[in-house]
Structure formats: C-alpha cells, structure tokens
C-alpha cells in the first residue's frame, strides 16, 4: 500500500478545503493507497462546519498510530497548536507557523519512508515570513529540508510541461541569473523526471530570453553566449534538446509538435501560457528532491476561504500526479 501525505498549507486559505474535497468527492486513486492529511483537528472541524461538510476522517496523533492504521484517509494532528484565533482570509503568523510545521513533518515522514509522496496545499509567503521562515515558498524550503544539491520548478497543466531556469526573482535580475550550468541542470533534471513517468526518450525545447531568440545577437547575446552553448552541451551528452527558440512562438509549436517539455528562462515566460490553457488544473512539481512532491498551482485564495466554493481540480491533479510517480495507477 502506498501512502500519500497532504499538508494543510495556510489554514486561512482554501488548502484544507480543496484537500478534503479531493479525497472525499473527487476522482483520485482509491485502491492500494491511503491519504494522510497533515493538519489540526479543531480547525478542521470548524472548517467542515463552515463549508457544510462532515468530519468523517479518523484522527490520529502520533507516528505510531500512523504505522498501525490502514484507513483510506485520516488526519494526523501533531502540531500542538491552537488555531482557534486564525480567521479565514487573513494573514497570520500562527497560520504560517502551522503551515511550516506540516511541511517539515511531511518531509520528515517522506525521508523516513512513512510517506511515499507529499502533496502540499498553498502557503502564504507573508505568513511564512511572520513565522520566521527565510524562504519565500515551498521550493527553497523543501530543498533545504531534504539537503537537495539542486532543484527545479516544473509546472504541468493540460498539454504542457514547463520547467523554469529562474523562478521568483525580479525580471531585471533574470539575465544575470541565467548560466550555462543552470540551464544544463534544468534540462538534465527535467529529462530524468520525464523518464521516471514513462517517457523513454523525452524531447525538450528550450526558449530564448530575448525577442526572436536574439536574432543572431541583434537583440541580445544570451542566446549565443549562454543558452545555445548549454543546449549544445546537453545534446553532446545524449539528451534530445532543441533551441534556443523564439519565445513568442515556442508554445504554439509545443501544442503541435512532439515535445515533452518546454524549458523557459523566467517565471512568467512559462506560466503565462500554461495558466491560459490549464488555469484550474495546473500542478507544481519540485524536481531534484529525494522525495516526491507536488502541489496545486494556485494560491491561498483568501477571498473565497471558508465559503465552500473552492474548486479542488488542481489539487486532484496534484494528487493524481503524485500517485503516478509513486507507482499508483489511476482508475
């Protein structure tokens, strides 16, 4: 039996709601698997009352109980926190502290083999900062907790898979952050992950940074000096990679050619097209970790938290992908 952990994320947002809806009402694998929600019981009861759901999940409070139970789904509450003062839709240091605890707990359980994958509900960056976390979100924190030497943010949505060379940095800093080594690292980790999900000879397309992919140096030199040499080096070690290609046409071609992923130079270059095509189904995957981690590609949605109207679609996709990588077949 495989065990998938789902951390609550920021409880002032929609994370716990979409997690509950995903495993109770939505289409996720049910055979040969169990789901462990990492959260807090009293808060969960309050949430269920607010959105008209019943708390039908067994609640446990220790790793020993987790090892003894084989329920389809249960709630693991070990935080020792009182979240009664946390309000839906408001940034809170306490909510940030709880979210941080559940991430740390989920990673530890994965590293120990008690969980086969971790699906993380959205966190609030301000809340994490108020709780003393130095990382802006999950990715850097997960890399630190797992001592990963390198990591890559990959987004999966609809027909697209998009790997990012840089993530949450100012646009003016992107050109300096792009190096041959980093691009080659992203290509290699993405290719490895694609093989892990069953694509034997993945083909990657790499976007340029500048308009028209630099037009042979007329609109910037990054393609000639950095991106192109990295692509060539990847080809020389046996990877199937093309580029750098003009950013304004690469996604049109991605929808019409047999590419398995697109490597983009910066956050919005890749996420804009993906979210246009799959806004409610996007999944964030962290490559390079010694654990399997996925997450819905949306935020805490404070404006609708506690109202029972949040869509679980992206969480369902994140769970299904985690199950697939962990070796659980969807129905």
Name the percent of the chain lying above pLDDT 70.
98
5-13: average pLDDT: 95
Q: Convert the pLDDT of each residue in 251-291 to its tens digit.
A: 999 999 989 999 999 999 999 999 999 988 899 999 999 99
pLDDT on residue 289: 95
pLDDT on residue 191: 97
Pairing of strands 33-38, 73-76: parallel
Whether residue 193 contacts residue 321, with contact meaning beta carbons closer than 8 Å, is answered with no
For residue 314, give the 3-state DSSP assignment.
helix
Q: Is the pLDDT of residue 331 over 80?
A: no
User: Which residues, at least 6 apart from 306, have a Cβ–Cβ distance to it below 8 Å?
Assistant: 17, 47, 50, 51, 88, 89
Alpha carbon separation from 18 to 7, 71, 138, 201, 242 (Å, rounded): 11, 20, 18, 35, 38
For residue 165, give the 3-state DSSP assignment.
coil
Mean pLDDT, the chain, whole residue set: 93
CATH number of 152-274: 3.40.718.10
pLDDT on residue 280: 84
Q: Is the pLDDT of residue 132 over 70?
A: yes
User: What pTM, to 2 d.p., does this model score?
Assistant: 0.91
CATH class as words, domain 2-148+289-326: alpha beta
Torsion angles phi and psi, residue 318, rounded to 5: -65, -40
Q: Give CA 133 to chain center in angstroms.
A: 18
Q: Convert the pLDDT of each residue in 150-188 to its tens digit.
A: 999 999 998 999 999 999 899 999 999 999 999 999 999
Q: Convert the pLDDT of each residue in 235-254 to its tens digit.
A: 999 999 999 999 999 999 99
Interatomic CA distance for residues 102 and 259, integer angstroms: 36
Q: Convert the pLDDT of each residue in 23-75 to its tens digit.
A: 887 788 888 899 999 999 988 888 888 888 776 789 999 989 998 888 899 99
210-221: average pLDDT: 90
Task: Report residue 65 as tokens.
Answer: 């109980």
Domain residue extents for the chain = 2-148+289-326, 152-274
pLDDT on residue 61: 93
Whether residue 9 contacts residue 120, with contact meaning beta carbons closer than 8 Å, is answered with yes
Task: Report residue 36 as tokens.
Answer: 């462990």
Q: Is the pLDDT of residue 76 over 70?
A: yes
For residue 280, give the 3-state DSSP assignment.
coil
| Residue pointed to by tokens 């495993």 | 23
- The helices-and-strands tally (H runs, E runs) of the chain is 13, 12
Which DSSP state fits 149? S
94-108: average pLDDT: 96
80-95: average pLDDT: 92
pLDDT band at 329 (very low <50, low <70, confident <90, very high): low
pLDDT on residue 135: 85
pLDDT on residue 39: 94
């Amino acid at each position: 039996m495989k065990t998938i952990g789902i951390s609550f994320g920021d409880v002032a947002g929609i994370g716990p709601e979409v997690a509950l809806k995903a495993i109770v009402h939505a289409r996720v694998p049910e055979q040969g698997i169990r789901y462990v929600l990492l959260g807090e019981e009293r808060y969960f009861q309050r949430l269920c009352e607010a959105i008209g759901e019943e708390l039908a999940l067994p609640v446990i409070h220790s790793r020993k109980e987790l090892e003894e139970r084989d329920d389809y789904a249960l709630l693991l509450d070990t935080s020792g926190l009182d979240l009664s003062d946390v309000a839906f839709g408001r940034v809170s240091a306490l909510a940030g502290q709880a979210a941080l605890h559940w991430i740390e707990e989920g990673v530890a359980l994965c590293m120990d083999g008690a969980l086969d994958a971790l699906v993380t509900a959205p966190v609030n960056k301000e809340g994490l900062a108020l709780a003393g976390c130095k990382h802006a979100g999950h990715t850097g924190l997960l890399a630190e907790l797992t001592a990963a030497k390198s990591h890559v943010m990959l987004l999966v949505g609809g027909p697209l898979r998009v790997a990012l060379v840089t993530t949450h940095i100012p646009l003016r800093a992107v050109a300096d952050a792009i190096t041959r080594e980093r691009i080659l690292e992203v290509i290699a980790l993405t290719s490895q992950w694609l093989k892990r999900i069953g694509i034997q000879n993945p083909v990657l397309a790499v976007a340029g940074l500048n308009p028209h992919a630099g037009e042979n140096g007329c609109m910037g030199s990054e393609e000639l000096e950095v991106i192109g040499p990295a692509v060539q080096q990847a080809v020389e070690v046996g990877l199937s990679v093309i580029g750098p290609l003009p950013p304004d046409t690469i996604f049109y071609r991605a929808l019409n050619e047999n590419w398995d992923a697109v490597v983009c130079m910066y956050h919005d270059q890749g996420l804009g097209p993906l979210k246009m095509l799959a806004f409610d189904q996007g999944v964030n995957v962290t490559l390079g970790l010694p654990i399997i981690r996925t997450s819905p590609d949306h935020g805490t949605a404070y404006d609708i938290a506690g109202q029972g109207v949040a869509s679980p679609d992206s969480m369902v996709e994140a769970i299904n992908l985690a199950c697939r990588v962990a070796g659980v077949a969807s129905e």
